Structure 1
Amino acid sequence: MKKQINVGIVGYKFMGRAHSNAWIKAPLFFDTPSTPVLKAACGRHQESLSEFAQNWGWEETEPDWQKLVTRPDIDIIDIALPQNLHYEVALAAAKAGKHIFCEKPLSMTSEQAAEMLKVCQETGVKHYLNHNYRRVPAVALAKKMIEEGKIGRIFHWRCAYQQDWIVDPSFPLTWQLKKETAQAGPQWDLNSHAVDLAHFLIGDVTSVSALTTNFIKERPIADETATGSLSGASKGDEMGEVTVEDAALMMVRFENGAIGSFEATRFATGRKNRLTFEIYGSKGSLVFDLERMNELQYYSNEDTKGEHGFRTILATESIHPYAGNWWPAGHIIGYEHAFVHAVVDFLNAIENDTDIKPDFADGLKIIQVLEAGLRSAELGGEVRL
């Protein structure tokens, strides 16, 4: 029988559900070294917390996160909270010797991120930052192909993360639209994912030039008791100021000489959660679209003359990263599966005392790029890292 490892989760909405599903599914589909036990769930509102715990099989509820992180029967703290709450919980968890599985973006500032990393290094706990798109099989395949030299020297990175959930001016002023709770808009939320993918696939960023804009400057005050992290419920006619950007564009230089661009917006009408990247190199190119997440487009200069063209690789074969643990080839997987892959790798890192990426060091680098983008937009010029 496998040994058990006890998990305590802080946060129970969108990410709480996604994480819970991953803890449950990981040992069912993968040969994990331990079996996660959903020990205790923590949140502010007892009624909805109890409903969440019952639905997902958490053994107990704990309204006080400070008690949760110090419980001797908890091995892992899963932080499924908005980013303004990561810092305090992560520091306390690390000081209590708990391994940390943390949702992105890591923190509100690079200063917070640096302290979170320092405490984790001092205490020796495992620290994972959940940029789950790294663990989509097609993205992991792209990494493998780049490392094998399939596209040669990389010249260009082009990335866009597009959503449309706040196009309606009557959509309320939720926490994602306020600087005190979100730090920034899509530059923080969406571009954190995009920058992580760029670091993963291309390399470190050395300079940033950016612009940001606001399309709607005031919105109805949100009803914070409404369910769902993207709820469209408002209190009434009272209006509040939007204090983060609605869209951000960045141009960057990479350490390896490549150049790149990033678009992050919540005003791309018709795009619900579209994350695309294009990578162009001396020997070939790769293209990925999250809305077709099982596919990777590949162009090779080494094809026979007259037969060049982008081909579609369906990354569902047993030889593709992670894919062999799911269904027969051609049976696609979805958004939630990348969370499962993250849990599997996290459990293996704990068991084998190895690093897992991205970690808080990667999170710090991402925040530094995002901050440089905001500074560039404010100053109107290039910012070097």
Structure 2
Amino acid sequence: MHHAPALRIALIGYSFMGRIHAQAWQTAPRFFDVSAGVDLVVGRDAAAVEEFAHRFGIPRWSTDWREAIADPDIDAVDICVPGDLHAEVSDAALAAGKHVLCEKPLANSVGEAEAMVAAAVEARARGVQSMVGFSYRGAPALGVMRQLIADGRIGTIRHIRATYLQDWIVDEQFPLVWRLQREKAGSGALGDIGAHIIDLAVFLTGQRLAGVSALTETFVRERPLVASSGSLAAVAGAGTGVVDVDDAAVFIARTEGGALATFEATRFAAGRKNAIRIEINGSRGSVAFDFERMNELEFHDHTLPGAEAGFRRILATEPEHPHLEAWWPAGHGLGYEHTFTHEVVAFARAVAAGTMPSPSYEDGLYVQRVLDAVERSAAAGAGWVDIPHAG
């Protein structure tokens, strides 16, 4: 017998992130012990959002997110729209007693993020939960990596080395989409992809960054304007617009535990599509992850005799590995979309249990403080900027 989903979700946004969140919510109850589903999808383009609702079997759709928040049948809101809308939608939803899952980065500025955290803290006291969507935490191999580090297998952490490389705007004629506009996106490669590796560094090691020295660059400063429909085809004769975000960011950092760290985020690494790599070196060994081989982990145990020591491959597909109890037999592997299923499962379980989900809005605020410090350092010609411990 079919029961209505216990947790009824309003999905705000229906493009790339909206699609993957919709799939995650549909998949989660089929594999995990959660009861949830998308009841309503919201988007500005009525025809497009209606088509999306039909395609994903979502019973209702709207062009006004305020309707979703006022709807007594909605329990939670999943925010998958550009950063300039996060604070307004999140604050209104929490005030209305709706739990919120918000895509990263949390906001477009530290001030906005601080206000969102204040609203989240107040809502939490009323039993209303909130979570920021750093999806890569849901990769099983990264969960194994975190556990190895927590168990002391690599000893005292000395180095964190993280890169996130893409190439989708190498073409100088690629149009001025919203991710290249500061007003909508807050920053460029820094907040879009750099935020992920900043979050992963603290997720894996438990150490926050104490300060940074950074350089950023915008290689292509003007791009063709996009059609008003938002399609990627540039309008003939519509002219160009200014790219006012970074195309690439590189920075060094020191962690609160005394480790040294390097980060690189770019959309100009030709041939690299979604190349996330993070390696952590310690006094007893090293561990490394490469998203292009997302089911694998490289682990070096430096306590072994030199004659037999070396990096070995751990296939993160065993049922005792994080999230994998629900999936396929060992060795069969997962993909990008599974990280989002694991994210919504964590959110739904926390809401059901009345506990604070992880990553929390406070975790999102920490990343926002790092992004802000990187921008301030780059503006000062790579000057050192301390990151306050608060939040």
Match of 2:23, SS state, is helix
Higher alpha-carbon deviation: 342-351 or 279-288: 342-351
Query: What is the CA-CA distance between 1:178 and the residue it aligns to?
Result: 1.2
| Contact persistence 1:163–1:274 (CA under 8 A) | yes
Matches within 5 A, 1:282-293: 282-293=283-294
Higher alpha-carbon deviation: 325-334 or 350-359: 350-359
- Give the aligned residue type for 2:77: I
Match of 2:236, SS state, is strand
Q: Does 1:14 align with 2:16?
A: yes
Equivalent residue number for residue 48 of structure 1: 48
Query: What is the CA-CA distance between 1:3 and the residue it aligns to?
Result: 6.1
Query: What is the CA-CA distance between 1:303 and the residue it aligns to?
Result: 2.2
**Misfit runs of 4+, over 6 Å:** none
Match of 1:256, SS state, is coil
Equivalent residue number for residue 375 of structure 2: 374
Whole-angstrom CA distance in 2 between matches of 1:20 and 1:43: 13
Aligned residues: 379
Q: Does 1:132 align with 2:135?
A: yes
Match of 1:235, SS state, is coil
Match of 2:28, SS state, is helix
- Normalising by structure 1, we get a TM-score of 0.96
| Contact persistence 1:163–1:273 (CA under 8 A) | yes
Matches within 5 A, 1:293-332: 293-332=294-333
Structure 2 unaligned residues grouped into runs of 5+: none
Match of 1:236, SS state, is coil
Whole-angstrom CA distance in 2 between matches of 1:11 and 1:52: 10
Equivalent residue number for residue 366 of structure 2: 365
Equivalent residue number for residue 155 of structure 2: 152
Equivalent residue number for residue 342 of structure 2: 341
| Contact persistence 1:279–1:286 (CA under 8 A) | yes
| Contact persistence 1:316–1:324 (CA under 8 A) | no
Match of 2:225, SS state, is strand
Query: What is the CA-CA distance between 1:225 and the residue it aligns to?
Result: 1.4
- Give the aligned residue type for 1:171: F
Higher alpha-carbon deviation: 161-170 or 113-122: 113-122
Matches within 5 A, 1:219-238: 219-227=223-231, 231=232, 233-237=233-237, 238=239
Match of 2:336, SS state, is coil
| Contact persistence 2:182–2:245 (CA under 8 A) | yes
Match of 1:6, SS state, is strand
Whole-angstrom CA distance in 2 between matches of 1:243 and 1:250: 19
Matches within 5 A, 1:234-273: 234-237=234-237, 238-273=239-274
Flag the 1:224–1:105 CA change in 2: closer, same or farther, 3 A: farther
Whole-angstrom CA distance in 2 between matches of 1:177 and 1:24: 31
Equivalent residue number for residue 184 of structure 1: 187
Deviations for 1:7-30, whole angstroms, at most 9, x for unmatched residues? 111100101110011111111111
- Give the aligned residue type for 2:363: D
Equivalent residue number for residue 109 of structure 1: 109
Deviations for 1:302-324, whole angstroms, at most 9, x for unmatched residues? 22330111101010011111112
CA RMSD of aligned residues (A): 1.2
Q: Does 1:384 align with 2:380?
A: no
| Contact persistence 1:42–1:64 (CA under 8 A) | yes
Query: What is the CA-CA distance between 1:325 and the residue it aligns to?
Result: 1.1
| Contact persistence 1:283–1:301 (CA under 8 A) | yes
- Give the aligned residue type for 1:139: L
Q: Does 1:352 align with 2:353?
A: yes
Equivalent residue number for residue 214 of structure 1: 218
| Contact persistence 2:8–2:37 (CA under 8 A) | yes
Query: What is the CA-CA distance between 1:209 and the residue it aligns to?
Result: 0.3
Query: What is the CA-CA distance between 1:352 and the residue it aligns to?
Result: 1.2
| Contact persistence 2:13–2:41 (CA under 8 A) | yes
Whole-angstrom CA distance in 2 between matches of 1:46 and 1:210: 43
Equivalent residue number for residue 164 of structure 1: 167
Whole-angstrom CA distance in 2 between matches of 1:189 and 1:127: 20
| Contact persistence 1:278–1:287 (CA under 8 A) | yes
Query: What is the CA-CA distance between 1:190 and the residue it aligns to?
Result: 0.7
| Contact persistence 2:254–2:261 (CA under 8 A) | yes
- Give the aligned residue type for 1:16: G
Equivalent residue number for residue 276 of structure 1: 277
Equivalent residue number for residue 63 of structure 1: 63
Structure 1 unaligned residues grouped into runs of 5+: none
Deviations for 1:206-228, whole angstroms, at most 9, x for unmatched residues? 1010001121111111124144x
| Contact persistence 1:221–1:236 (CA under 8 A) | no
Equivalent residue number for residue 204 of structure 1: 208
